[in-house]
Structure 1
């Protein structure tokens, strides 16, 4: 994921005991009643920069274990923060079109909304995920995204035309809510890796992948790239003969550390491929503009390719005769597509400007297991929100120390830990598979049932 500040430390191991039940020590009691003034953004950045300077030259700070004070943390678990479904209606619209090109455009529309949190908010640092920690939620889509065919019909006959089409591009209410379910688990400690699975049975859609980051501090910014186990997002259209799309992640930069205002920029290329339809997209995110150059600019090309000879990695490599569509725009505002053969009509693929993040449907507190993200970090979250940063830091430190102790105990006892919901910690390559517990947890989510049994293995 383009997880920026979420990448600045490794993972720990999850205990099944909720942190709020820890026996208070003298340090915790001393911090209990202290309410502190939260530091402003400038002070946070100075503290953060001071910590990061210790890691100049470190190849991958995402794999290094170090602890940040609670003042620098967003009161949100990492697994809850990263879900890719900031606008679930763009996900549920994938596969609606009969034309392969239009289905690729549906995938790209989802791609441009998956990190809407960066467009609408500022970078932040959630809690580090702990080994065995998991998160689950639902979304219910009540307004369908307009079809690509509708977007084409609504476009004027030429880019300069003032004639408006009567075709509506407004979202339309669905006959009944479409449920999308999400399950993720921290599956590896070294390196820190989580697996995720998204399912929408009503539309015959699923998505899965491993999330892992590599991060390097250059002295002025943090460069974040996908880790070796992160091969992107794999989306499968089960009603389209299991057509599968692989969406790879570009490198991202967290800048503004010296200016006192954090910002995310992307300057890289990424790819979306569908071997079954022999269709591929190259997206080129341009470096942040200066001296009048446009910022956040993205351009791309959709083209026919040979999966057995996938050697086109730059837009300039693609022969004009193979081009099906061209992408252009601002990935934080509006993105347009123009289609062959003349590419003259600019069709609005997505306008991010009016969009807001769609809230998740979360499990009730009484239905959450002890190693479920929201319950697991509840004590730290409550303390941060109450501005009791001393208490939050003590609770967080005790969690970290307890997990290190449990890791040592397992190592000394020769006990190997295994994920509960996914078959392997980092396998199969790029495409995690669900265990029986994982399949059952998703089935219950799809039925709106939150109760699941606590695992005896992870609770030991």
Structure 2
């Protein structure tokens, strides 16, 4: 993979810019279909299991995409939509900016195929810098930093923090999924500790937004081509402006081409727990905007009193933006790319025996260290986030976490090795 250097400060090591983690589509169509049939055979052992995500079973390396889980799960496929959320002085325009971010955050699934990355290990972390909307002539593009750490192994939970200090926008949350195999597809829902993405606009009086995740169906195992199908409702809420959006993803018929339709309404609510969960229940007098379109293509909005459609976002010309990571010599052993480096190289070389061996060694180290902690009665503590406040859904950065994020903005990637690692 070719690395494109980002111009660094004179004293900093040179970081590397790489495309985001998406399915690489390596191998022939027949080979990929064979992999899916093998995966389907493994998954059938879990029919009836309430949550296969909590089982943490290990797949053969030839079925994995060579990308760490923490790198794969991020919401900055288009960092400029995140950085620009708070720019408008109009509260509705800012809310629509949040929706633009929402519909671009997982662009990798729109432009590529879903895949299975490596399982994260306890204490593993990933950090990256994204370049957002253009800045002024002296500062260059706006920088958006991303930090995530695996804070729990049973259940598997990771904390994340996104920061754009120049624009005064940040976001945080916990990532956790629950998955159930039905026999032909996998239904993925947010885990109990995943309460959504929480966005804060610091230059707007700490105006905050909560974005909840819809359930997703992963199908196509029998056809040999994985696809995502969304048929659920999710919500975006801003307590300060008392604006709320209900987004309903509509299911497609098995007959005909999928349209990936989504409908929504933005309305003024009187109190956060207003009991309104469906679009049809929103009183027309409270509506501020209506949303419609395809979450795979174009989305539009209309405002009351007008039938004119305004373009909210056009996904067709957009692709995931590259991310910039610290150079290899500045990465710590439990940093995602460094930890899985040997496995990744072996998979790219199609040396699956070697990849499986190295992957097994990492997993065995994690089991041994977990057993040692249990025997000594030692509780694991994350490094970059405070002890998990899972009930609140909003992780807090530790001193080391603040330092790691600041370093991404100043080209200072040096971090002291952790005294204790989970694997």
TM-score by length of structure 2 reads 0.91
In structure 2, distance between residues paired with 1:381 and 1:38: 21
In structure 2, distance between residues paired with 1:174 and 1:247: 34
In structure 2, distance between residues paired with 1:52 and 1:189: 21
Match of 1:263 among 227, 244, 261: 227
Contact 2:65 2:117 in 1 (8 A): yes
1:213 counterpart residue number:
177
User: What SS is found at the alignment partner of 1:298?
Assistant: strand
User: What SS is found at the alignment partner of 1:68?
Assistant: coil
1:405 counterpart residue number:
368
Q: 1:327 to 1:174 in 2, by over 3 A?
A: farther
1:391 counterpart residue number:
354
Deviation at 1:428, TM superposition (A): 5.4
Contact 1:221 1:255 in 2 (8 A): yes
In structure 2, distance between residues paired with 1:218 and 1:425: 32
2:60 counterpart residue number:
69
User: What SS is found at the alignment partner of 1:177?
Assistant: coil
Q: Does residue 276 of the first structure (1) align with residue 240 of the second (2)? A: yes
Deviation at 1:142, TM superposition (A): 4.7
Deviation at 1:402, TM superposition (A): 1.6
Match of 2:44 among 44, 53, 56: 53
Deviation at 1:444, TM superposition (A): 1.3
Deviations 1:263-288 (A, max 9, x none): 00100000000000000000000012
1:433 counterpart residue number:
396
Deviations 1:367-416 (A, max 9, x none): 00000000000010000000101110111112111211111111111111
2:89 counterpart residue number:
98
RMSD of aligned Cα (Å) = 1.9
1:85 counterpart residue number:
76
Equivalent residues in 2 for 1:227-306, closer than 5 Å: 227-292=191-256, 295-306=259-270
In structure 2, distance between residues paired with 1:39 and 1:73: 16
In structure 2, distance between residues paired with 1:387 and 1:339: 54
Contact 1:37 1:387 in 2 (8 A): no
Contact 1:139 1:180 in 2 (8 A): yes
Deviation at 1:63, TM superposition (A): 0.1
Deviation at 1:309, TM superposition (A): 3.7
Contact 1:137 1:363 in 2 (8 A): yes
Deviation at 1:308, TM superposition (A): 4.5
1:363 counterpart residue number:
326
Contact 2:369 2:422 in 1 (8 A): no
Match of 1:124 among 93, 106, 115: 115
Contact 1:88 1:180 in 2 (8 A): yes
Q: 1:433 to 1:56 in 2, by over 3 A?
A: same
Deviations 1:401-436 (A, max 9, x none): 121111111111111110001112353510000111
In structure 2, distance between residues paired with 1:310 and 1:413: 48
Deviations 1:41-63 (A, max 9, x none): 11011110000000000000000
Count of residue pairs the alignment pairs up: 397
Q: Which segment drifts farther, 275-284 or 254-263? A: 254-263
Q: 1:174 to 1:216 in 2, by over 3 A?
A: farther
Q: 1:257 to 1:173 in 2, by over 3 A?
A: farther
2:288 counterpart residue number:
324
Q: Give every structure 1 segment of 4 or more consecutive aligned residues whose post-TM-superposition deviation is greater than 6 Å.
A: 36-39, 172-175
Q: Does residue 444 of the first structure (1) align with residue 407 of the second (2)? A: yes
Deviation at 1:39, TM superposition (A): 7.2
In structure 1, distance between residues paired with 2:387 and 2:301: 39
TM-score by length of structure 1 reads 0.83
User: What SS is found at the alignment partner of 2:370?
Assistant: helix
Could you list the runs of 5+ residues in structure 1 that have no partner in the other structure? 1-35, 145-171
Q: 1:308 to 1:295 in 2, by over 3 A?
A: closer
Q: 1:404 to 1:143 in 2, by over 3 A?
A: same
User: What SS is found at the alignment partner of 2:324?
Assistant: coil
Match of 2:297 among 325, 333, 349: 333
In structure 1, distance between residues paired with 2:408 and 2:255: 51
Give the number of the structure whose alpha-carbon radius of gyration is greater.
1
Could you list the runs of 5+ residues in structure 2 that have no partner in the other structure? 1-26
In structure 1, distance between residues paired with 2:247 and 2:272: 21
2:277 counterpart residue number:
313
Bigger relative contact order, structure 1 or 2, given CA contacts below 8 A and separation 6+?
1
Deviation at 1:340, TM superposition (A): 1.6
In structure 1, distance between residues paired with 2:201 and 2:398: 21
